[in-house]
Amino acid sequence: MTQPSSARGQGAAEDVDLPTQYRPADVEGRLYERWVSAGLFTADPGRDPGRPAYSIVIPPPNVTGSLHMGHALDHSIQDTLVRRRRMQGHEVLWVPGMDHAGIATQNVVERELAKEGLSRHDLGREAFIERVWKWKGEFGGRILGQMRRLGDSVDWTREAFTMDERRARAVRTIFKRLFDDGLIHRAERIINWCPRCLTALSDIEVEHADREGELISIRYGSGEDEIVVATTRAETMLGDTAVAVHPADERYAHLVGRDIELPLTGRRITVVADEHVDPAFGTGAVKVTPAHDPNDFEIGRRHGLPSLAVMDERGVITAPGPFEGLDRFEARPAVVAALREQGRIVKEIRPYEHSVGHCQRCSTVVEPRVSLQWFVKVEPLARAAGDAVRDGRVAIHPPEMAARYFEWVDNMHDWCISRQLWWGHRIPVWYGPDGEVACPGPDEEPPAGWTQDTDVLDTWFSSALWPFSTLGWPDETPELKRFYPTSVLVTGYDILFFWVARMMMFGLYAMDGVEPFTTIALHGMVRDQHGKKMSKSFGNVVDPLDWIDRYGADATRFTVLRGANPGGDVPVAEDWAQGSRNFCNKLWNATRFALINGAHVRGEVPAELSTVDAWVLSRLNAVIAEVDAQLESYDFAKACETLYHFAWDEVCDWYVELAKVQLADERAESTRRVLGEVLDKLLRLLHPVVPFVTEELWTSLTGAETIVTASWPAADPGRADRDAEALLESLQRLVTEVRRFRADQGLKPGQKVAAALEWGSSPLAPHEEGVRALLRLTAPGDGFAATASLPAEGVTVRLDTAGAIDVAAERKRLEKDLAAARKEADQARRKLGNQAFMAKAPEAVVAKNRDRLGRAEADIDRLEAQLTALPAR
């Protein structure tokens, strides 16, 4: 932004500390450490009880994790919320922490051991756990430092870990309560099993992907007992204990209750009738393998079928016979070959695409397996979680996501909480020598000589306690009293079912029916600019740390927030990050210009203002109200767009340019104060989104210590000035029309052109100097001869473009536009002159066509006048 020659006039600043360019790397680390050391992010539950409390618990990232674009989005949203509430005077607590990530962390340490030629079994359980804690201390938690780089204003004095002492006590406490209430039990059920990690998996730890396979049709039985079934997993037929058909399927009514031969095994199995079977799918008959399929397991329970496991924990066939000892994927073609040899293959269909579950940690195909596990009986807990949303105690944003929430909690199955790992909260159950079971509380000792269960709890069990275990539960702490329930949970919609629902269940249960948060704000997934999922295999993964290095944390945050429409996926692209960096630079340059020209925030804004100053304050007031409403509804994308366009378009491109004229005349001091007022409030509005650049600029402008605890701007209806807004809108249209003419003629934006302005009775006349400055128009001198005339907004702009304008090209352009305007007017007149149309069309449609005609006629008048004013050929 150029400095006018009069910039150093009376009232201008003698010195400006801001460098000529904004370099994020010179600012961000320094400011963040200053904020933390000053305790600006530290909450005090005993401070000013009259202040409203606002709290958020961060979705704990894995101890093995590092910052990715999903984190950048999630944390930027949360930081925007807490920074704004802090400025609004709330007592704010944003709790940081990490999840111990059972499977992921154990895998990492086991890989390190493998490099030494060791396994965890070589070390033994206690030594292995010590090794994991050592790894956590040396390498875990890298993401916490990365959160600092992003600018997270969390309370580092309350950092939590799902396996620290306080959280461990909370886990023992709630397990004991659930156990004593009969809501935790041990049973043989079918679960997701990873043959590589050798543990049960939760649903969220299973990633499904469509895979190409073969659907093979096999003939069971013979003669009148013959029945054909289809399967993609031929090896599991070794464990079949029935064939199921629909009760109403007349094709198989004669077979229900009869035994038929199961090929390759020498066994006979029963045909059962079950409503689960879809008679229209395939042959209408399905094989039933209760030990290796969840649907078959339920059929088996309904019909009292035996459950025959034919694989061990590593996916190796254990059924006696020729396939014993083969891996499941080796056994599949071997079984098919044997069936083909016996003439049992009816047909093979290739390819057959179907969904296959994979372990999230190691990508091994998951095997459904019957296993003795610990479960939470979720039915009463899930019902309470559903009721809390239905009765309005908890709001979900966007509201349409509530249907997905209800679909999950209303149909939730018992939750398998045991994992066959060593790293995690060990299940607090002990077994006696005669099979006795004891579950002592956290302050009780287990019976002497009894043996503790070897499994650990699902990671989601401990993270389900996060909203209250981080506040000190089960103890009655000041934090728990002041900050529970938490204000809002911010997370991706992809874990609505798995983590959010579990927190709701445990929060309501542990806290006597009080919900863990009052609002659930869901955001989408970060995708590339084409809407494609980010994946290493696609080569489109973006590292937010790379963007922070090159463009700054503010630009990275602004980029993801600008795409954060409620519940929708968030596209990002590098050129958008570059644009966000340019936006930060624009703010820097505008503020530096203002400081050089003496802008300040001392004293009250003058009562008597120029129209330009009144306009910008009116627009500022409107923007404050808009941004408030947008942030309250979690519409971060709209809030960013509102702030971006106000800052760039209205403040920098219009107000600052018009202010340059006023800074050189008797209005200078008033304009300095207004310019300071606008930047003061604009920077405060922007601070939650782009905290670093706004801190550096605002403290330079105001002389205050920090913007972090500055008051949030409040809308002032008394500043609304519709007349000033209407006048400046007219001025903008005038300038835009002339600029368009200049661009059409190939005139450079900075090229000066002599012009005469005929104002007539236009209210814009007092702004001639500003219009000339914006349009680079010089006053007519000797020999001035207008070569073009543009009527716009009641003003005639006569320009001397001799030697700078292509008259023939301009005439051609105007004639083309005139023809289009006449066509538009003719179409509107025909409709308005059509009696049938006028009789049937709604009034709104008729009014729309009248407006269309009026605009077209105005365009015709303007274009004809411009053609008339052009020099002759």
Q: Under CATH, what is the fold of the domain 746-869?
A: Helix Hairpins (1.10.287)
At 871, the pLDDT band (50, 70, 90 cuts) reads: low
Tell whether the model's pLDDT for residue 644 goes beyond 90: yes
**pLDDT tens readout for residues 239-252:** 999 999 999 999 99
At 15, the pLDDT band (50, 70, 90 cuts) reads: low
Q: Under CATH, what is the fold of the domain 573-720?
A: Isoleucyl-tRNA Synthetase; Domain 1 (1.10.730)
Scored b (16 or more CB within 10 A) or e, 163-190 reads: beebbbbbbbbbbbbbbeeebbeeeebb
68-77, 182-191, 347-356: range with lowest mean pLDDT: 347-356
pLDDT computed for residue 870 by the predictor: 67
Q: Is 536 labelled a binding residue?
A: yes
Tell whether the model's pLDDT for residue 7 goes beyond 50: no
Which residue stretches of 656-757 are H helix? Answer: 656-662, 668-686, 691-702, 722-744
**pLDDT tens readout for residues 274-330:** 999 999 888 899 999 999 999 999 999 999 999 999 999 999 999 999 999 999 999
pLDDT computed for residue 9 by the predictor: 36
∠60-66-68 over CA atoms, to 5°?
90
pLDDT computed for residue 202 by the predictor: 77
Between CA 589 and CA 693 the distance in angstroms is 11
Amino acid identity for residue 220 in this structure: Y
* Distance from the Cα of residue 690 to its chain's centroid: 17
- Coil/strand/helix, residue 430: strand
Burial of 61 (0-12, 13-18, 19+ CB in 10 A): buried
491-500, 718-727, 751-760: range with lowest mean pLDDT: 491-500
Between CA 873 and CA 864 the distance in angstroms is 16
Q: Under CATH, what is the fold of the domain 199-368?
A: Isoleucyl-tRNA Synthetase; domain 2 (3.90.740)
Distances (CA, A) of 106 to 143, 169, 460, 603, 841: 18, 22, 16, 62, 71
Residue among 696, 709, 688, 693 nearest 75 (CA): 688
∠219-225-227 over CA atoms, to 5°?
35
First to last CA, the chain: 40
Q: Dump the DSSP string for 355-399.
A: EEEEETTT-PBPEEEEEEEEEE--HHHHHHHHHHHHTTSSEEESG
Between CA 669 and CA 24 the distance in angstroms is 32
**pLDDT tens readout for residues 572-625:** 999 999 999 999 999 999 999 999 999 999 999 999 999 999 999 999 999 999
Which residue stretches of 6-141 are H helix? Answer: 24-37, 69-87, 102-115, 120-123, 125-138
Phi/psi of residue 397, each to 5°?
-120, 130
570-572 and 526-528: which strand pairing?
parallel
Between CA 725 and CA 700 the distance in angstroms is 30
Residues in the chain: 873
Q: CATH 1.10.287.380: which residues of the chain?
A: 746-869
**pLDDT tens readout for residues 320-343:** 999 999 999 999 999 999 999 999
Tell whether the model's pLDDT for residue 170 goes beyond 90: yes
Tell whether the model's pLDDT for residue 536 goes beyond 60: yes
Angle between helices 102-115 and 125-138 (to 10 degrees): 100
Distances (CA, A) of 748 to 755, 778, 781, 804: 16, 15, 21, 10
Tokens of 148: 């600092």
In DSSP terms, which residues pair with 209 in a beta bridge? Answer: 356
- Coil/strand/helix, residue 318: coil
**Percentage of residues in the chain having pLDDT higher than 70:** 96
**pLDDT tens readout for residues 729-788:** 999 999 999 998 888 776 788 889 999 999 999 999 999 999 999 999 999 988 888 888
Q: CATH 3.90.740.10: which residues of the chain?
A: 199-368
Angle between helices 636-645 and 611-632 (to 10 degrees): 170
Tell whether the model's pLDDT for residue 156 goes beyond 50: yes
Tell whether the model's pLDDT for residue 444 goes beyond 70: yes
∠225-229-233 over CA atoms, to 5°?
140
pTM for this structure? Answer: 0.85
131-140, 420-429, 491-500: range with lowest mean pLDDT: 491-500
Computed over every residue of the chain, the mean pLDDT equals 92
Between CA 626 and CA 726 the distance in angstroms is 19
